Amino acid sequence: MLLRVVTEDWVSAAIIVGTLPLIPIFMMLIGWATQARMDRQWQLLSRLSGHFLDVVAGLPTLKVFGRAKAQAESIRKITGEYRRATMRTLRIAFLSSFALELLATISVALVAVTIGMRLVHGNMELYDGLVILILAPEAYLPLRQVGARYHAAVEGVAAAEEIFAVLEAPVPAGGTGVVPAGGAVGVAVDGVTVRYPGRAADAVRGVSFAVEPGETVALVGPSGSGKSTLLNVLLGFVRPTAGRALVGGADLADVSLDGWRERVAWVPQRPHLFAGTIAENVRLARPGAADADVVEALRAAGAGEFVAGLPRGVETVLGEDGAGLSAGQRQRIALARAFLADRPVVLLDEPTAALDGETEAGIVEAVRRLAVGRTVVMVVHRPALLGVADRVVRVDAVVGGADDRGDGNGGGGLGSRAGGGSS
Ligand SMILES: Nc1ncnc2c1ncn2[C@@H]1O[C@H](COP(=O)(O)OP(=O)(O)O)[C@@H](O)[C@H]1O
Ligand SMILES: [Mg+2]
């Protein structure tokens, strides 16, 4: 394009070449002047939007407890701050793009004026003048677009930095040992105490229990007593402050965590489904699995019927976090992952929380099938699932301050039950 201008008219070409670099130079100058401010603004914006989301997501709970009114003031304050922060950010964005647009316009005007002069003096053909005039703004277009994209990029960088902060957060490093081979391995916690960083109290204190290979153990205890934390310890996500976790008789601190996690299927308290098809979501557990295996896993998890009833079956596309499915359906798809993964050790965190009776019965049956021949530790909230367990371990809430219990939790707190199929 510039070449065309050069061949048509070198004066205009010289003006364009002379003014083009001004745009990036000004962009950098503006960038430097506002960088710190922009960074702060984006941080503020993302913090506010996160806060806003928390408050809104928590509204149903607050409503139930009659506290929704009290949150109105908080929401008003957040939205007010959000608006002001957005306006400040937009002002900077508008000002900088205004400056760039102005620069480009003045440069084109400069070209236009010289062409006009030469046309008047008869030094230039009308055709040439028109061609240059039409082409000149095109020369600035890409750079102006860069200016417009710049703000989108700043936003992206801010988001990416947050993501990397999570990705780069140190994960407890594992050892290099291997978990003793064999089918179902036993797991145990031995005097485990966990205190999360920045917390004044222990999340769990001095808990001990052992799960034999092939045994199904239910963890029960009040909310906040550290049941999920204990599963996280067994997964190697959380390192005990004191005590140790044993897997297959080896200290989890000494074994390779990747190797260990290949032996474990885990269904967390709130399993996340990704935007994608049902099949893709189940296949997460074993990416190479054949279609038939995916269908089989769904069937085993008690999801076969409702998935088959969907117009597109396993190819049904789910929204973010399983939008379009009920809680029970999401839970069964998460269980299907555990079936497909087919690992010797299974950790389930409250698989029947928030389900109605009929759905719960389906999941209890699915868990009973899953438990056969596997070592299972499951956090249980409601009695229905207790029937699946061979043994119940009670986890008590840590009582503030006083070191009143270090005795751990021997098995059989609530009495042993005849196991449903597991050996
Ligand atoms: N990632 C975390 N950081 C700090 N504290 C946590 C974290 N996870 C859980 N806790 C705290 O540890 C305690 C036990 O939590 P949790 O293991 O989730 O209990 P449960 O699953 O029995 O309801 C709670 O007081 C909780 O607030
Ligand atoms: Mg929990």
Q: How far is the CA of 379 from the centre of ligand 2 (A)?
A: 8
Name the strand (E) or helix (H) holding 378: strand 375-379
The C-alpha atoms of residue 331 and residue 347 are separated, in whole angstroms, by 14
**Protein residue closest via CA to atom 8 of ligand 1:** 229
Q: How far is the CA of 228 from the centre of ligand 2 (A)?
A: 4
| Residues facing residue 220 across a β-bridge | 394
Q: What is the pLDDT of residue 60?
A: 67
Q: What is the pLDDT of residue 24?
A: 79
The C-alpha atoms of residue 392 and residue 386 are separated, in whole angstroms, by 8
Q: How far is the CA of 360 from the centre of ligand 1 (A)?
A: 25
Give the nearest ligand 1 atom to 269 CA: 21
Q: Tokens 């270090």 identify what position?
A: 406
Largest CA distance in the chain: 107
Ligand index nearest the alpha carbon of residue 349: 2
Phi, psi dihedrals of residue 218, rounded to the nearest 5°: -100, 130
Q: What is the pLDDT of residue 354?
A: 66
DSSP for 192-233 reads EEE--TT-SS-SEEEEEEEE-TT-EEEEE--TTSSHHHHHHH
Q: What is the pLDDT of residue 74?
A: 75
Ligand index nearest the alpha carbon of residue 230: 1
**Residue from 169, 170, 168, 150 nearest 42 by CA:** 150
Give the nearest ligand 1 atom to 223 CA: 23
Q: What is the pLDDT of residue 408?
A: 40
Tell me the three state secondary structure of residue 151: helix
* C-alpha distance from residue 383 to each of 198, 210, 314, 353 (Å): 35, 22, 32, 11
Q: What is the pLDDT of residue 246?
A: 92
CATH class as words, domain 187-394 = alpha beta
**Is the fold of 2-167 the same as that of 187-394?**
no
Domain boundaries, the chain: 2-167, 187-394
Average pLDDT per consecutive 10 residues, the chain (423 residues; last block may be shorter): 66 82 80 74 75 71 67 78 81 80 88 88 84 84 75 74 79 70 84 89 92 93 91 91 91 87 88 86 88 92 88 84 79 91 91 75 88 93 88 84 40 38 36
Q: Is the Cβ–Cβ distance between 18 and 62 less than 8 Å?
A: no
In a 13 Å sphere around the CA of 368, the CA atoms on its Cβ side amount to 16
Q: Residues near ligand 1 with C-beta < 6 Å?
A: 196, 199, 203, 221, 223-229
Q: What is the pLDDT of residue 124?
A: 80
CATH class as words, domain 2-167 = mainly alpha
Mutate to test the pocket of ligand 1, among 166, 171, 195, 196 (most ligand atoms within 8 A of CB): 196
186 token code pair: 């036993």
The stretches of 199-347 forming alpha helices (DSSP H) are 227-235, 257-261, 278-283, 291-300, 304-309, 327-341
Q: How far is the CA of 184 from the centre of ligand 1 (A)?
A: 28
Q: How far is the CA of 4 from the centre of ligand 2 (A)?
A: 69
**Protein residue closest via CA to atom 1 of ligand 1:** 196
Total residue length of the chain:
423
